[in-house]
Chain A
Amino acid sequence: MADHQDTGTDRPGEVPLGTLLVDSGVLEQDKLDQALTLQQQWGTRLGDILLAKGWVRAIDFYQTLARHNNLPFVNLLKEPLEAELLTEDDIDLYTEYLVVPWRRHNGRLTVLMADPGKRAMDFARQHFGKDVDFAVTSKFDIMWELQHNEDAYLSHQAVYALSEHDFEMSARQVFTGPQLLVIYLLLMLLLLSLTMFPIATLVTVNMLIAVFLLFNFGMRAILTWVGGDRHIDVKVTDNTVKTLDDKELPTYTILVPMYKEPEVIQYLAASLRQLDYPLSKLDIKLILEEDDEETIEAAKKLGLEGIFEIIRVPDSLPKTKPKACNYALHFARGEYVTIYDAEDRPEPDQLKKVIAAFRAAPDNTVCIQARLNYFNANENWLTRMFTLEYSLWFDFYLPALEALKIPIPLGGTSNHFKMEVLREVDAWDPFNVTEDADLGVRITQLGYRVGVVNSTTFEEANSRYGNWIRQRSRWIKGYMQTYLVHMRSPIELYRSLGHIGFWGFQFFIGGAVLSTLLAPILYFMYIFWLATDTHAYDIVFPPLVLYISLINLLVGNGYLIYLSMLGAFKRHLYYLIPFGLTMPLYWLMMSVAAYKALWQLIHNPFYWEKTLHGITSYNPDNNEHKAEDRA
């Protein structure tokens, strides 16, 4: 302790920190000059800029900061804190103020802070009492100590916070009792009806399917029409982005969950550095699993700048991305937060566009989804089809859903949240394997709005068939979970979403699943009819059903193919347009995935199908990277 008190007392507090750093030989003068220029531009503190740029080592900086403030410095790695001083409920406050109780000596508590100033000290005195001493430590060490000491609590919170606060909204229970009862009664009714009135029942079922598919197609046609409007497209212009003042931009947290991707980290860091956003206002969390030593070591070796923080997620079940994100959220300091996957390449101005979109949107808009597309679209047939699908989904459907106030199932990455509300709604459901889609619906149900912004994040399209089936089956299973969760109280859902929102949810979420399940049955019936010219179906296809079925077969399928072409057209991916003609084969693959998803929903609902990334042969940065297995 005496060592700490000696340190930093040899200089008066009024000597500027930058000068102190230069005089100490830990910072070059020209870097200081650059940092001071950036400070004028960004409006953040010098220390944040120096750390963000990596121009000074964290340990050197915090030691100098301690001297600057005439406070002792504590190296938490060598002198860890007393765990019993920590309070579980205060973890978010520790993170927000970068303050942590260290040790108690002679009745006085020493409080460590990474950002010594009036705000942090007032908080400490108010929270811990007046008998406190202060010392400085590294913010990275504070994070590490919090994780190290509270991992059990944080893990529990990450997994169970939502289900404990609002069980109805969690997918922890797949089917509720009433849902099982309804399913059972419907099955019984169907069987009874089939026994007593077989033909009439089959005709009715056939009619219901035909009408459902007609509405399903109609819904997609409407979404494409609405999404095709130019005015829906340009939400934030380049000029709006230019008018944003860097000084007024808030701190932005970026969560990057990774698993066994050591080779990607340097490219990911490069990609994030290219973001057009003051680096010192970025709070990037590399979320790594505790057992993923390879990636952790790779991250350490790179000696990343201070904007990157490694969050180690303790090994526990379910080992899913939402759990990891929930865990990391405790350490997030941004006013806004977003998620990127390791191989994502967001457009550089995305964060600024999102800020502008939030400012222009109604106050209750708490989430903005950026568009997703693929950088390896032209790798093979599968990536082409995947790109066609995503172009339609993100460039037409989602903007239209926003315009029509229908719940938006968020995409896997590049969804940007207001931090306060994300925490308030208990963030992601770790039991839902498409936690993002579920969160989009949950947010809307709680009276908030989800928006869409005209900025794209480029991802890696799945280029292998088995891998694609695994990924898609997880997505469809997640949609099933999401549908079941939000349909536990259909009347409540109807009240909260309104007419359009409710029916939009039925067809966009429920319809997407049901149509993929029905498709192979209908295809089989059709091919059988073509092959045999049988008249066996005549009895269950009375004229009206026949005509609706024909509309579905011809106009429905024809226009769904056309819609996929439009997606490529809008994206100017003209070479993909002819591939839209092969869309029915892609739908068949979806059906395979859908049946796998249904099987898993019953037998292994929370299992997170691992999807391989980094397997593309296409490399836009001329960088080679591969990963074995990532979530």
Chain B
Amino acid sequence: MHKADRLESFLVFIVVTVLLCLCSIWLLSHNYVNEFAMSRWAKVLSVLDSPEIRIEHLGLIYPHFPVYILMPFYYLPGLDSGAAPYFASLLVGAILIGTWNFHLAEKKYSLRVRILLILFVCSHPFFLWGVLTGAQHALSLLMFYWLYLALVRLVNVQDVRSFIMVGLALALYFFIDERTFYLFIALLPLISIIAPQRMLSESTSSVYLIIAAPLAISVASWAYLNWIFHDDAGLFLSSADSSFRGVWQDTPHVDWLRAYGGDFIVPTLVTGLYALLAYPVLLWLLYHAKRHRILLGSTLVLLLHPVVASGLATGNYFLSHPMDMIFLFSAGIMAGVVLIPRETRRARISLILLLALSSVTAWFVFPWYQTTDMQRWRTAVMGESLQDTSPGDIELGLWLKQNRQLTLLDDKAAYRVIVARGDARHLVLPFSSEYKVNLKYQWPKIEQIAVSEPGYVHDGQDYLNQRFPELYANGMPGYTLVYDYMHWRVYRRLSMRAGT
């Protein structure tokens, strides 16, 4: 039975991969690109194309696991155009669906019912958004599925392994998704609902300590790495560029934060309502869990957890949109369906219908307070071609692809350039000693310098503009302007020019 289930789940994985690939091609063919996906892919290119591959060159102000996942794709031919993050993301989504199918088969759900369940879960826009944006959301869905299974195991089995699973899920989550802090804090009060009451009454602090210690180890390890590589243990929390700080810098441009940022109660309530509209199937879970007392607590936790986390993250100006948190319900619902005993045909039909309804209602609530990225994604899904967000970056990337001299470039400003170029060979980037040495000189001794227009990087000046404030406008002695198009200029050393 298990062998057959595994084979069938593998086939499900293949089919879902193909279907998601088609969806992804559709989106990309309509010019949808995700900034996060591009910046992470640029990091992969930068580090793997550098003469000395070092992890610290990736920077330590964002979770690394999504980048590590991308690294094998660097070596696959045909993915250098920047499609790798999207492919990796949908693969993880397909793995999640394959795993879910396996678990459903174990629960004796018929193939027909499973196909319908998978169809409606996969057609939910929040799920599609999660696995098709090329960001770390697909990994986050997978981790949330695991976390929720672990939490339910904690309710049902109450053995040490359950605690280890929850602790490890949170510890690993930290390296995948910066939302972990909020998910963890939101979980703290909810643990009292699901943890064994006997243990809680004997030693509440021990229960929390055992669950929290792995995450604490992860955070402490990360702080240590920040300290030894950047001399500041708290850099990942204090840096303005840190993804652990969310979108606080963009607050003026984020509708959701302008409306609810800094508050907790109201955004939590609003998120709760939003979640119920996007996932009416949650009511089905609650209703059926009620009949299995032991599952009621864990289902309540599922309902409250992302909502409370969303409220907390909004209160801290972290979250750009509640969907950024409640898309995790897709994984939670999958886990919930697995864990609630398979009941009558009527119950299964109502589940399928509510999942179908969720897929419909979610499309309607999707535009509410939508961010630019959500809006672009939705437009691309509708089949409208989008305009390039940064045509200047792409143009420079293509130009540098042809002019492969050793070029001084700040990847903070130029990640799109690197992705457009397709590789980072002969680029001298800020993590390299050559870059640092050149910035110490009064005038760099490098073949080319590519510099962005001051202020182009909206969340702060890049290193080159900080070091050479007049470079973009006036160039520098010994260099001549060889490229000037849409916020970017390239200066080339005179002797080099003479040589070329």
A interface residue numbers (CB < 8 A to B): 224-225, 228-230, 233, 543, 547, 550, 554-555, 558-559, 562, 565-566, 569-570, 572, 574-575, 577-578
Contacts and interface: CB of A to CB of B under 8 A. Distances in A.
B217 A562 contact: yes
Interface in B193-226: 202-203, 205-206, 209-210, 213-214, 217, 220-221, 224-225
Interface stretch (B157-165, B355-363, B471-479): B157-165
Contact of A228 (B54, B161, B203, B224): B161
B206 A229 contact: no
A565 B213 contact: yes
25 contacts: A224-B164, A225-B164, A228-B160, A230-B157, A230-B161, A543-B53, A543-B55, A550-B225, A554-B217, A555-B221, A558-B217, A558-B220, A558-B221, A559-B214, A559-B217, A562-B213, A562-B214, A566-B163, A566-B164, A569-B160, A569-B163, A570-B160, A572-B202, A574-B203, A574-B206
Nearest to B206: A574
B48 to A, nearest CB: 13
Contacts of B217: 554-555, 558-559, 562
Given A224-B164, A550-B225, A562-B214, 13 more contacts: A225-B161, A230-B158, A233-B159, A543-B52, A554-B224, A562-B217, A565-B210, A565-B213, A566-B163, A569-B163, A569-B210, A574-B202, A577-B203
B164 A228 contact: yes
Interface of B: 52-55, 157-161, 163-164, 167, 202-203, 205-206, 209-210, 213-214, 217, 220-221, 224-225
Contacts, number: 60
A554 B205 CA distance: 24
Nearest to A574: B203
Contacts of A224: 164
Contacts of B206: 569, 574, 577
B225 to A, nearest CB: 7
Contacts of A230: 157-161
A24 B365 CA distance: 99
A419 to B, nearest CB: 35
Contacts of A555: 217, 221
Contacts of B163: 566, 569
Closest 6 interchain pairs by CB? Answer: A574-B203, A230-B159, A558-B217, A228-B161, A554-B221, A574-B206
Nearest to A576: B206
Contact of A229 (B53, B159, B214): B159
A566 B209 CA distance: 10
B170 to A, nearest CB: 12
Nearest to B153: A230
A224 B55 CA distance: 29
Contacts of B159: 228-230, 233
Nearest to A567: B160
Contact of B209 (A550, A558, A570, A577): A577
Residue among A225, A555, A569, A575 with max Cβ neighbours from chain B (10 Å): A569
B452 to A, nearest CB: 30
Nearest to B52: A543
B198 to A, nearest CB: 9
A64 B53 CA distance: 90
Contacts of A225: 161, 164
A566 B210 contact: yes
B160 A566 contact: yes
Contacts of B160: 228, 230, 566, 569-570
B363 to A, nearest CB: 42
Contact of A565 (B53, B202, B209, B220): B209
Contacts of A228: 159-161, 164
Contacts of B54: 543
A234 to B, nearest CB: 10
Contacts of A562: 167, 213-214, 217
Contact of A578 (B161, B202, B209, B220): B209
B150 to A, nearest CB: 12
Contacts of A572: 202
